[in-house]
Structure formats: C-alpha cells, structure tokens
Structure 1
C-alpha cells in the first residue's frame, strides 16, 4: 500500500467500490472483519460480491453495532475537543458514530435514532450551548431511554461547564430553557422531559474538563475508560449462549502463555461440531488486540482447495500487515519476511486438514516475532503430530448438565428444561454424546413440537444401533419439506459463502426459496452472515453432500448434484449424464482438456444450474480452452436458470434452446459473436455477462430483455455501439469497448446506479442528458484518452458519489459541477490538459477525496479552503502549482500530497489543518517551513526529500514518526532542542516490564521505529562535530517522547529511532567504538535490572565509486547476542532500516536508538553487536562496507528535584541511583 491510502494503483472503480463496501458495513461488523473486507476487496474480481472470511464451523457472531455514539454541540466542540476525541477513538479502532450533518431539521432523523440504539456506549459532551439545541436534547432523551431499556452505557463529559449547571439547569443551561419554555409553551411536558434527562445524565459518573488538564490528558483518560468498558462488555458477550465454553477457553489460554518471549503453536483438536472454531473465535476476540498483528483465517481446508496456498498466504500476510500484498512466488520476499519476524502476532488457522497447510502458512520458528502465538484447529490429530505443534488441546463433548442446558436453549428458548420434558430431553442428550452442533440441530428441530413428536424422534434415534452425528442430523433433515431439502442440498453442494439474494433469484420460485431459507435458519441447518452471505457448518455441508452421494454411490451420473471435478469430468467425458442431474459445477482449472459431443447435455433435461468456472484469482487464456465442442452444441436443457461457462467455445448458443427460464447468463472469455440467431425472449434474465468476448460486435437487437438489471460487456474490444437496453438496468459495465458515442437516450436509464466506461479510448464526450440519471452513484471514465468534454450538469445530482476522469483529455470542468451535491470522490490524475479547477469548487460540500496527480493544474481556487469535509488531497507532480494563502478551512484533512509541484512557499496557516496526519511536500522549491507546522499535533509522516532550497527545519510536532529529508542539498541545521530533558514518571519503567516474563529475558525491541532520513544532505556535515553532538540531544529527546507516548497508550511498545545522514566518523559521545562491523561491550555491574533503557548504536557506511547501479536502496541491519556469567544464551534480533537512494561519493552514518527489555537479569552482562548492509530486494548483503561502529547504553537516572520521576542519560548511574530506581 502506498502512503496515501494504498488504493491508488488499483483498477478503475475498485477504489470507490471498496470504500463503498466498507461504508456499507461500518457499524455492522467487527473491526477485524472490516480489515478483512478491505484486504479481500483487493483480490476478487467482483468487489461487492466478496464475503468475509467467516468462521467455518461456528460463525463468529458479528456485533452489528457501533462501539460509541458521540452526542455533541457542533458549534462548541466540532473542530476542537470532539474532533480530537473522535480521532483518538478511531486510532484505537473503536467504531464510532458521529453525526456529521450540519443542516438539520426540527426532528431528529430515524437514522440517528437507529445509530443510538445500535451503540454500546454513548458519550455526551456537555458544552456551553448544548442545551440550546433541541436536536441535542432529543438525542439525550433517546440515549437515556436506551440506557434504561437496554443497559446502554453512558459517559458524560462536562466540557468547560459546571456539572451543577447541567444538573440544575442554571447558567447557560438555564438561559436555554427560558427560550425553550417560550417556544414550547403549548407542550410543557416536552421541556420537562428535557430537564429530567439532563438531571439524570449529570448524576452519572463522568469526566470534568476543569479537573483534568491538559485536554490531551482528558482525552486519553476517556479513551482508557471506554476501552475498559468495551472490554468488560465484550468479555461477557463472548460467552453469551455458549454453554461450557468459559472453562475450555481458560484452559487454552493457560496453554498459550501469552507474555512469554517465545513463539508457540497451539493445536485445538476435536470432532466436527464440537466447538473448535467457536472456542478459537472467542479467544481471538479476547486477546488479539494485545498483539501488533492479527488474523483469523477461516476455512483453511476449503479455501486452500479453492485458491491454493500461495493465495491464502497472501491474504494472511495482508491482514497481519494491514496492507495489500502481492506475493505470487513460493518464497516470501526478505523485506516482508523480516517485517513479520519483528511483529508479535496472533493468528488462528481454522480447519486445517493437511500438515503442508500449517507448514506453509505458519511453519518455522522464525516466521513471526517473539511472543507470537498461532492457534490451529483441526479434526485430524496427524496434522499436529507431523508439524511442530507445541501443545495440543482436545475439545471434549459437553458434560450431562452442560449438554442439557445447551439443548434447552434451542428446544425451549431458555436454559432450564421444563420438568415434563426432562426425561425425554435427557434421553436425546444421551444420544447426542455432548456434541454442541447435534444438540443445537436436534433442539431446533424439536422446538414447539408436542410430546408425541418427541417420542417419534426418539424412536428414530433408538433404531440406530450406533448413532453417529450424521444419523442425528438426518432426523432433522427428514422432517423438511421437499423444497426445503432441495434448498439445503443446493447450499451444501454449491452456494456456501454466496450472497443470499443471488442464490434466491436463480431458483424457480424466489419467494418460496426465501421462506424455505428462513425455515433452514430456524432449524440451525444454515445461517446468514451480517453481510447476507449463506453460511453452513462444515459438518452440515459434508452431511448434505453425503446425502447426494448416497443417491448413487457408484454412478455419479445418477446423483442430483455434481460438484467434485473428477465426478463431473467422468460423467461428461463418458456421456453418463441422466435426468437425475439438477446441478453441475466444474472448476476447469482442475482438469485436463475435455472434449464434449454436441449432445453432451441431452440426457440431462432437468439441469437447472450449470457452471464451468475458474477460481477468481486464477486467470489465463489456457483456462479458456479446457472444454472443447468441435461438433458444436445441439442441445441445452430448457430448465436452465443459471448458466455460467468460462471460455464458452462457440459463436452462439444452440438455436433450439429456449431461454424462458434463464435468470443469469455468464459467458466470460468466450468466442460468442451473437447470443442467438433469430428472435428470442429472455423474460426472466436478470444478469448478462459477456466480458472479454472479443468477437462480440453489437448488442443483439432481436432479443427482448425485460427484467435485465446488470450488464457486463467489459473488454468486448470490438463492440462499437452503445446497447439499446431497458430502463431497469442498474449496473452497466462497458469498460474496454470500442464505443465512440453515448446517445442522449441514456436518460431513459432512470434506475442506472453504476456506469463504467473505463478504457473506452474512442469516446470523446458525454451528453448533457447524463444529469437525468438521478440514481447514478458511479461514473468511471478512467483512461478514456480521447475524452475531452465533461458535460454541463444542468440539474442537481444528489446520488452521484464517485467520478473517475484519470488519464482523460478533459480540458476543464464546468462550474455546474457544483450541482453534484453528493460527490465524495473526484479523480483527475494524469489529466494533462486540465489546467485549472472551477472557482466554485468549495461548493462541493460532500467531497471527501480529490486526486489530481500529474495534471496540468497550476493554481488552486481559494474556495478549496471551504472543503471542510475533505480528508485527502493529492496534487503530486502539478508543476508550478500556486497554493491559496489560506488552508485553515480544511479541518478534516488527514492526507495532503503536494510533492513535485515546484511550490515556492507553504502557506503560513498550514498548522491550522488540525487533522493532518501525512504531509508530502517533497520535491519543491521553498527554503523554509512555517513555524505553525508545530501545531499539527496529529502529524505522523513528513516527506521533504529533494527540496533543494530548504535550509533549516523548525520545531516539529511530537508525534512525527517518519521524517524524510533526503537529498536536501542546502539543509544546514536541524530543529533546536532544549538542553533540559523532560522528566518521566518511574511508573513507565514498571509498564515496560509488562512486556517481560521469565528470569532471563533480554530483548532489544526492533520495530516499529521513528525514522529521520537525511541522506545526501551534505551541508549538514559541514558543521562537523556540532551536528553530531546535536544528534545526542535528538536521540535523548526522541527516546523520551517514545517512552511518554508508550505510557499514554499511543504506542503499544516503546519505539526505536533511526537517523541516517552524511558523515564518516563516530560521534565522540559514543562510549564504545571500534573499527569494522562488530563490537562487544560490558554493561555496568549494577545497572542491568531496571535502569537500562536501551542502546544508542552507530555505524559508518563506506561507499565506493564503482558500486553497481541500483545498489543505493539498502537496509542496515544489526544482530546481537548477550552472555551472562554462568549462563550463556544467544538471542538474535535483526532490525532494519530502509535508506533512500544515496550518493556513492560520500560516507554516511546510521545512528539509532533501540529500547530494550531486560528485567530480572543478573548484573553484569556483555553484549556483542554486528552491523551489516544488504539489498532491499535480494537476500544477500549488498557489499556496502561497514567502516566502523559504536554502541552507547542509555540509562534511567532518578530526578533529584522531583520525586518518583526519572530522566535518561548515556552515562551509567551510580549504585545509589540504581537503588533509588529499584525502590
């Protein structure tokens, strides 16, 4: 992912669809699932049709709620306290609802009421004018109603107001109520209700800004309180309805030994349905946030069969690193491997059935960092025995009491069994043998049934001499109606993980199927995820497929459904199909070439589902030629409702085929030239996909599509005319076609939501009638290289959210774009003819993102400062860009890219863009930065490379973790720092010890790192030792800042520091120096147990004139080992730093600080360090020579003027000072 969101290199429209999918599910799924969605969206072909990695055996319940609802008075706190609090909540991955609407009516919206109801905690920010807002008071009424009815937690914050004024409605609150009583004279009960809730809320335990200062500390304490409340609530909800799970979870947690500095793999073993996934999921929810990286990888068995282990590993590492990776090689690139080795991660691999799966995804002691834990669930003990699994936990069945309670929850909707059903229940529980899934299915089956029906069920059970889980499941299955059985078998064989609406619409009677699905859900045979995906337990899926196998064990052609590729291959190859077959799915990537006769389907008149496909991540022309029809195709069953054939080899479908029943026709990468010869009626067709059909030249005019809502003709490169289609179409994909003109009649497509015209290189304009498309959400013209004229928008378009004009020839945007009231994202990248933006750009009040990289824009309109909702702006490569003097209105802006724009001056009020987190102003011509940049309290990354005129840096914000000032040729000085170091509370030393368990732990924390890069800033070296002496102070100040941010929970662990700059000598303040690449130091005899904070390290890297091209990109690594008297251990920890391309004509110095953990060590140890460089893209050292190196321990010293505080120094403290720290 790139530094500006990671989506910029993605296919057209995908960025919008990902964000739309994420917005759609925010507040409805967990943060982990949202992260998974973002990653998965980057892999699938159909972004909006990808499901979450749902748990295979027991669906991980998604809490469809917000964590926090914030009630506040916008004019008081929107741009200060509330924005800071919400940003802090988001940084902690707390799902927060904040009402961003400024224009409000008199009544609170239903959406807002719903958001309050679906929140776990409401935070009420009482400010001076809170009570003057009827809207706020109505919010408060609803919040207190949810508190009293649903036990919602409420956290009041008294921001610059006296709680007494809120309680008694005096002061500004009293003034507000004088006005309310006049306005609502006729309905005094309304005003009285407001008074009551204000009094009630003010009596709750809360936070007073007058008592906790500064404001940042108040925010931190509120966040800490909310996190604790959420954790307590999550802990109890994890076990809700899960009988017997608590003790099992605690047993596994004791095996995990979280906190020990080692790497462990724990196996959870048990039969299907016993609760392995449920237990692993509950543990994941409880402890995964204590790790730096995390991933719940469900359905490993099924997913590896579908997409292969390379693809699965790609998904796993993408989620751990929270970015999109493309690793299509058997080996993992060294840069990724090392990042994983430096992370403490928690991974669950669910339903592993082969040792090679575990070995490939998590094998090897060096795969993840120390302290990492991998939990593996499997039914096969051999998986654990053949791999290096440290501990194995066998999940046993529920005991008698637990089983009875679990069964009662489903049979009687209560956890106590009624006395008159106790004997019957105990007999059924006996047969279930403690299996939770069997108990759940049997309980759901018997719910609301009379005793006679219970007796009959028991008779069926007793007839089985040795009942297994399948026998018990069959009792529930046999009670289903025929249509419900058919739906269950379709899901088990074909549709697991698919969208419910898709599965429903391709059936005979969608309404009946919808009802049948509800029955299956009620009987616990299938489930629906929060994003409407069909889910079925692995065991139930196997049970359903076994029912189909038993229809004809030896002759697959006599079964109703075929899904296994070998069965399908043999049936088709040997022409063994029969009228029994209703569905046939074939993964053609799994088979050899298959030659079919023209009558291949004649014996299958009842075939309604036919799919020849390749998995989404597999592409290639060789896949299109696997199934051959040299003799043509004479027959397709008229019963077909779903017809999907990847690489269909013929020019048209059979003439005699009647498509009356067809609902989805999908023929990607086929040789079709026209769908049919002659007139045909598609009375039920909903989706038509002919993507990559290069022989298709026109849309069929003789075919009627009355019900069509989705059309995909993408990359039909010979399609020249816009199709005449009905007004019911919702999605129209014409990307990569040869269309030259869009007719004005497009206005008839009144239901159209998505129009994709990317890569239509002959298209020059759009008709102005486009504004009639009131339902349009997405308009993509990416890489329409001849598109010159953007149409006038003559009417308001409130639904259009996304416009992509990247790489078009558009010359200007009309001022009428202000009619696009709902526009959220505008892409203008590489518009080389676009020289300006409309002056009224600031009227696009909904705009969130504007990307205009490498366009010809030379001046920004002053109204851009009015885009108070925009969060991302990019003008990279807009040469000669002139910025407006004022940027202060961009209060929501988090990412700003002005790199390579030849900017001469940065606006002085840049510091008022208070939300800015990433600022890239590299490659510009300014000679200084405004002092106000220090006010950017949230700034984390600052890019200044190649600013050739920059001479000095002002003081920078505390939270900057990355500063890249490489190749700033004129840079002479770094920010001045005070000579006095800040004191820190000794409690921080106690906090760092929480990273350690065990008596001999010693670990240098390698990652993450605060990075300062000054490569090729040669004038920095002209000051000689002065700049190197300053670095000592910089190291100490940054180490202090890192420890403080760690103590404030901003960092999960103390951060290291990396600085790279020109130079050839080790600074004098390094107490241990040596030539070459290695050095060993002896630590002080009395300072090891608590005073040692970390190490400052230094390496001089020598460059040679004849160094190979491309060798400028490199890492600096350092391995270490330590030795204790009477105990010798070796620990390795490779930390690395990515340098920019550096000059080969001068030496450079790498200086860093790395915090360490050493609690419990005896005094007096020696530590050896070895420095090396290696190429970023290879596994080998790259040949840069380490000329010399140095190490200096950094110690805590007690502050003599302030009790219980310490500062840090590079001199060892005295024995007395060490004793004081210990005390």
Structure 2
C-alpha cells in the first residue's frame, strides 16, 4: 500500500517535468506516452529505456535519444541486429543489456561507446563473432553465446574488471594478450569445453580475485603461473581432468575458496600456509589417496566420493589445530569407502579426548558455532557413554546433570541410506530435545547437523554413515536451567531431512549423546 503510494508520487513528479510533452521527460512507463514519443521521435531527455520481452521489437534510430544512459532489451527474441545508430549514444550510454536476444547474430563493427560501463550479451545463442571494439567497458558478459574467438583488440579494455565467458562451448581459444588486462578481477571460462587449456602467463593478471574454469577439459595440468595471483580469493578448477597440481599452490596467500573436485591427481601439495582459506572442495577426486597438511582456519571441507582416500596423520594434525569443538566446521567424507572404520572411530575418540583437555584448560565455550563430520561407518565412537540402537534416546536427570546446568550437546548418529538420490536440496540430521519437568510440562528445542548444503553433496548414497557433531544454537545454558525448572528426564529424537521435507530413505539406526560436562 505504502509502496504503491510512493510509486504513484514518483510517477507524478516525473510527469510534472512536462505535462504536455512526454518526450521531454527522463522516464516513460505509460504505454500511450511511449507510443506517442516513439511515433514522433521525441526522445531527447530520455535516460532509461527498458523494452524487455518485446517479442516483435525492431530497434529504431537511437541517435534521437542522445542522453540515453540505460538501454535494456532483454529477451527481445526477434531482435536480430543493433543498428549503427547506437553510435550516437557514444558519450552517455552506461549500460547496454541484450540478454537472451536469441536472434541476434552479429554486431556492427563501427560502434564507439566511450562511456559504456556494462555490456551484456548473455544467452545470445546465435552471436558467433565479437568484433574489434573500442568500448572501454568495465564489465563484459558473453556467457552462453556462440562466439568462436575473441578479438585481439580486447587488450585495449584497460578498465575491464569482469569478463564472463561461461558456457561459450564454441570458443576455441583466448588470445594471449588477455593477460594484459591489469584491471581484470573476475574471469569465468567455465564450460568452454573447446578451449585447449588455460593460459600459462596468467601471472600478469595481478588484480585477479576470481578465476573459474570448470569443465575446461583439456587443462590436464594447472598452469604453474596460477600461484602468482596473490590477490586471488576464489579458484575453481572443477572437472578439468587435472593430474598434477603446481608445488607452489600454497603461495595463494589471499585464497578463501579452492575448488578442485572431479579431477585425477593422487596427492595435493601442502596448503597449510593458506591462512585465509575457509572452503576446500575435493569431491569426486577418486584417485586422491591422502589429504595434505591443511590450514587451521579451514571451516568447510567437501571430500565426498574420494574413494581411494585413507586416514592420514595430516588429518589428525588438522583436527588438533582446528579445535573442532570450539571453532566449528563442516566436513563431508561421505562415500569415502576406503576409510578404515575402526581407525576413523579410534581417531574421533582421540579428538573427543582432546576436547576433554581443551575444556579443562578453557572451560565451556559459549559460542554460536556448529560442527559436523560425516563419514562411512556403522558404529558410534565408544566415548559416547549414552548410546542406543534406535532413533531416540532418553536420559534421566542424574545422567544428564553434571554442573549446575548443561552445556552444548555432542550428538552422534548412524544413518542408513537406502537408494538415496541427491535432489540438490541439502541434507541435515535434526535432533529434537524434549525436557520433561517434574509437573509433566515439556519444553523442546531443536538442533541440526549439516551434512551437505544446497546444491552439493554426493549424487547417491547406499550405505550406512556416521554423523558426529554439535549445534551451539541449542545450548542449554542459554535456554533452560536444569535446577530451576527441575527437569526429571530428557528425550532426544533424531531424523533426517533436506531443505523441504523429511527423507524416508534415510533412517537413523543408532544414536549417541554426550553432555560436555561428562568429559570432566
């Protein structure tokens, strides 16, 4: 209601610019005004044109709108050319957007757009050639076009910050002089399946912050120049058939996300010096045998379906440095079927003993972190003193009361997956705690263990897996005081769901609970 009133007030303010001649206004929205202005070629004050989804649009003489700043023509599916009259917008046009104009098959070669900052041809699937240009834009989107090569004049785009070539499946090469783009921060080559690999002289892209090259199949070896991109924050080389990584990968000192999934290397050089790294994806690296020494600030690891991966000393050192139960982390080792279940269970018993020493040194940490580790297995680690072969467990007051109040629970479950197929909706183990007072009143709170997030995780799972972790948002001390309310028992029930529904193909077979107080 308020929004509508404000919009109408805005329309009236613009209408008052010229009540009799809409061609003198800087914006038009009423269809009769637009028709009149276009018919009489009165476009002098117009700054913004948006004719998106106009199926039968044929572009007019835009030189009649010399003050135009934004030209938006998304999904004008009959538009097959841009006339040279766009050249008349040389010094004012800032944004040119022709996204999904699927009939557009060529661009004029004589257009000069000195002022333009963003040019979007995304999804122009019949656009095969990009001309020699003198448009010094900041952002250029050519993703999902049919271009076969970029012009050599691209080196003149000294202001270019973003170059998106994603899913240009006909692109056969990128000119080597692209490395002269010293302002380029985002380069996306993902899905350019005909490329003969990445360029070797990437070290000159000194401003680079994001480099994506998913499914650039001919890469084989990651360019040795990549580690020289010291400002790089995200590197995505997923599914590039890489067999060997550069030894100096650990020099990417600004890196926050490293995605190397679905490749063929057997080992990874040390990345322990990547102190800013928070996410590492090694999923479906089926030849990877051992994890490298890992940085202590790493918070998310996806290493599912690494079927040759074994438990290593570096993994133990990582957990000790991480202080898992204080900082929190999500580690997905699902379908890593080569992991020795006895060894990994013993390993986590050791981690829990480490938590015991940490609590004795620092006391109960009241943070808002969550932690979850998922790995193949059918047994609850023995240090979980309360266990049951069901999807729920009940503890009496004397079993759960340690100090004056409870702190965060550590929980562990064994989940049986039966024909689980990942629909991209994530997966969490939910635990619901029901606290029964002496008078029979029940208080409840809910926590979760995040197995995998929206859009990732293993494609299929058909075996039993262990989920171990905690959710500090379910901290007893912040919600309930055991002595004050005189609870007589606590029941915790577990089940598995994605982001939309409970999953019937995932059954909790065993569960275990450990109150942190019990570690003393």
TM beyond 0.5: yes
Distance 1:302 1:1103, change over 3 A: same
**Are 1:743 and 2:65 counterparts?**
no
In structure 2, what is the equivalent of residue 761 of structure 1? 125
How far the C-alpha of 1:1016 sits from its partner, in A, is: 3.6
Q: Residue 811 of structure 1: which of 149, 167, 172 is its match?
A: 172
Residues 1052 and 876 (structure 1), Cα distance of their counterparts in 2 relative to 1, 3 Å cut: farther
Indicate the residue corresponding to 1:1122 in structure 2. 435
> For residues 789 and 1143 of structure 1, what CA distance do their matches in structure 2 show?
38
- Paired residue for 1:734? 98
CA contact (8 A) 2:215 2:239 kept: yes
Work out whether 1:828 is the aligned partner of 2:189.
yes
> Per-residue deviation at 1:1055?
3.8
Residues 1123 and 1022 of structure 1: is their aligned pair in 2 closer, same or farther, counting only changes over 3 Å?
Answer: closer
Aligned match for 2:348, one of 1006, 1031, 1038 = 1031
Give the 3 Å change call, closer, same or farther, for CA 811–906 of structure 1 in structure 2: same
Pairs aligned (count): 498
Say yes or no: does 1:1169 pair with 2:481. no
Q: Secondary structure at the match of 1:732?
A: strand
Give the TM-score, by structure 2 length. Answer: 0.81
Post-superposition shift, 1:789?
Answer: 0.8
Q: Deviations over 1:620-653 (max 9, x none)?
A: xxxxxxxxxxxxxxxxx777664214xx599x93
Match of 1:1099, SS? strand
Cα 1:1090–1:948, aligned 2, differ >3 Å: closer, same or farther? same
1:578-619 CA deviation, whole Å, 9 max, x = no partner?
xxxx8xxxxxxxxxxxxxxxxxxxxxxx456xxxxxxxxxxx
Q: Note the alpha carbon deviations across 1:1005-1030, whole angstroms, 9 max, x for none.
A: xxx9644444344454553xx64344
- 1:937-971 CA deviation, whole Å, 9 max, x = no partner? 32211221111221223445xxxxxxxxxxxxxxx
1:898 and 2:260 correspond: yes
User: How far off its partner does 1:781 sit?
Assistant: 0.6
Question: Which SS does the other structure have where 1:853 is aligned?
Answer: coil
In structure 2, C-alpha distance between the alignment counterparts of 1:1177 and 1:1160, rounded to whole Å: 31
For 2:164 and 2:276, locate their aligned partners in 1 and report how far apart those are by CA, in whole Å.
26
* Distance of 2:297 and 2:194 partners within structure 1: 36
Task: Answer yes or no: is the 8 Å Cα contact 1:1171–1:1186 preserved in 2.
Answer: no
Partners of 1:1079 and 1:1137 in 2: how far apart? Answer: 17
Give deviations 1:432-471, integer Å, cap 9, x for gaps.
xxxxxxxxxxxxxxxxxxxxxxxxxxxxxxxxxxxxxxxx
CA pair 863-1147 structure 1, distance change in 2 beyond 3 A: closer
Q: 1:796 to 1:1194 in 2, by over 3 A?
A: same
CA–CA distance in 2 between the matches of 1:819 and 1:1130? 67
Distance 2:56 2:460 in 1: 54
- The 2-side partners of 1:949 and 1:1108 are apart by 22
Shift of 1:704: 2.9
3-state SS, counterpart of residue 1032 of structure 1? helix
Quick one: structure 1 residues 1185 and 850, their matched pair in 2 at CA, closer, same or farther if it must change by over 3 Å?
closer
Conserved 8 A contact 2:411-2:512: yes
Change (3 A) 1:1037 1:721: same
Structure 2 vs 1, CA of residues 783 and 953 (structure 1 numbering), >3 Å: closer, same or farther?
same
Q: Secondary structure at the match of 1:945?
A: coil
Alignment match, 1:873: 235
After superposition, where does 1:506-655 map in structure 2 within 5 Å?
A: 508=17, 606=19, 642-645=27-30, 648=31, 653=35
> Does residue 779 of the first structure (1) align with residue 479 of the second (2)?
no
Within 5 Å, which residues of 2 pair with 1:1078-1157? 1078-1084=392-398, 1088-1090=402-404, 1092-1102=406-416, 1115-1123=428-436, 1128-1139=440-451, 1146-1153=463-470, 1156-1157=475-476
* Conserved 8 A contact 1:1011-1:1059: yes
Shift of 1:719: 1.8
In structure 1, runs of 5+ residues without a counterpart are 1-300, 307-490, 509-581, 583-605, 609-636, 660-674, 957-973, 989-1007, 1197-1207, 1210-1223
CA separation in 1, counterparts of 2:251 and 2:512?
48
Q: Secondary structure at the match of 1:1191?
A: strand
Verify: 1:752 aligned to 2:64, yes or no: no
Residue equivalent to 1:1212: none
The answer to whether the 8 A contact 2:306-2:335 is kept is: no
**Residue 941 in 1 paired to residue 300 in 2?**
yes
CA contact (8 A) 2:408 2:515 kept: yes
Quick one: structure 1 residues 899 and 1188, their matched pair in 2 at CA, closer, same or farther if it must change by over 3 Å?
A: closer
Asked if residue 849 in structure 1 is aligned to residue 210 in structure 2, the reply is: yes
Corresponding residue to 2:46 among 661, 685, 693: 685
Task: Provide, for residues 333-366 of structure 1, a one-character-per-residue CA deviation record: whole Å limited to 9, x for no partner.
Answer: xxxxxxxxxxxxxxxxxxxxxxxxxxxxxxxxxx
Query: In structure 2, the residue corresponding to 1:722 is in which secondary structure?
Result: coil
Distance 2:260 2:491 in 1: 41
* 8 Å contact from structure 1 (residues 1121, 1129) kept in 2: no
User: What is the distance in 2 between the residues matched to 1:801 and 1:1053?
Assistant: 39
Match in the other structure for 2:454: none
Q: Report matched runs for 1:1001-1016 at 5 Å.
A: 1010-1016=329-335
Bigger radius of gyration among the two: 1
By how many angstroms is 1:1041 displaced?
A: 6.2
* DSSP-derived class of the 2:153 partner: coil
Task: Tell which has more relative contact order, 1 or 2 (C-alpha 8 A, sep 6+).
Answer: 2
Residue-by-residue CA offset, 1:820-849 (whole Å, 9 max, x unaligned):
221111111111111222222110111111
Partner Cα separation in structure 2 for residue 1089 and residue 1014 of structure 1: 35
Counterpart position of 1:611: none
What's the secondary structure of 2:280's corresponding residue? strand
Q: Structure 2: where are the runs of 5+ without partners?
A: 452-456
What is the CA deviation profile of residues 1066-1093 of structure 1, one whole-angstrom value per residue up to 9, with x for unaligned ones? 4444433444333332344995444754
C-alpha contact (below 8 Å) 1:826/1:850 kept by paired residues = yes
- Aligned counterpart, 1:494: 9
Q: How does 1:235-274 map to 2 (within 5 A)?
A: none
Contact preservation (8 Å) 2:291, 2:314: no
Q: Is the 8 A contact 1:1080 1:1166 kept in 2?
A: no
1:647-680: per-residue Cα shift (whole Å, max 9, x none)?
Answer: x599x93xxx4x4xxxxxxxxxxxxxxx44xx84
Q: In structure 2, do the counterparts of structure 1 residues 1010 and 793 end up closer, same or farther at CA, with 3 Å as the change threshold?
A: same
- Is the 8 Å Cα contact of residues 405 and 483 (structure 2) preserved in structure 1? no
Query: Alignment partner of 2:310: what SS?
Result: coil
Separation of aligned partners in 1, 2:399 and 2:462: 43
Answer yes or no: is the 8 Å Cα contact 2:299–2:328 preserved in 1.
no
**Which has a greater percent of helix?**
1
Shift of 1:1057: 4.1
The Cα shift of 1:493 comes to 4.5
Q: In the alignment, is the contact (CA less than 8 A) between 1:793 and 1:817 conserved in 2? A: no
Q: Assess if the C-alpha contact under 8 Å between 2:496 and 2:507 holds in 1.
A: no
Q: How does 1:353-432 map to 2 (within 5 A)?
A: none
Aligned CA distance change for structure 1 residues 862 and 1063 (closer, same or farther; 3 Å): closer
After superposition, what is the alpha-carbon deviation per residue over 1:1138-1182, rounded to whole angstroms, capped at 9, x for unaligned?
Answer: 445597764444444566434854398543323232432554462
TM (norm. structure 1) is 0.37
Counterpart residue number, 2:386: 1072
Q: Deviations over 1:170-197 (max 9, x none)?
A: xxxxxxxxxxxxxxxxxxxxxxxxxxxx
Is residue 1099–residue 1190 contact of structure 1 (8 Å, CA) maintained in 2?
Answer: yes
C-alpha change, 1:819 and 1:707, in structure 2 (3 Å) is same
- Per the TM alignment, residue 695 of structure 1 is displaced from its structure 2 partner at its CA by 0.9
Aligned CA distance change for structure 1 residues 953 and 761 (closer, same or farther; 3 Å): same
Decide whether aligned partners of structure 1 residues 1144 and 914 sit closer, same or farther in structure 2, where only a CA change above 3 A counts: closer
Task: Decide whether aligned partners of structure 1 residues 1011 and 1045 sit closer, same or farther in structure 2, where only a CA change above 3 A counts.
Answer: farther
- Deviation string 1:406-455 (CA, Å, 9 cap, x unpaired) is xxxxxxxxxxxxxxxxxxxxxxxxxxxxxxxxxxxxxxxxxxxxxxxxxx
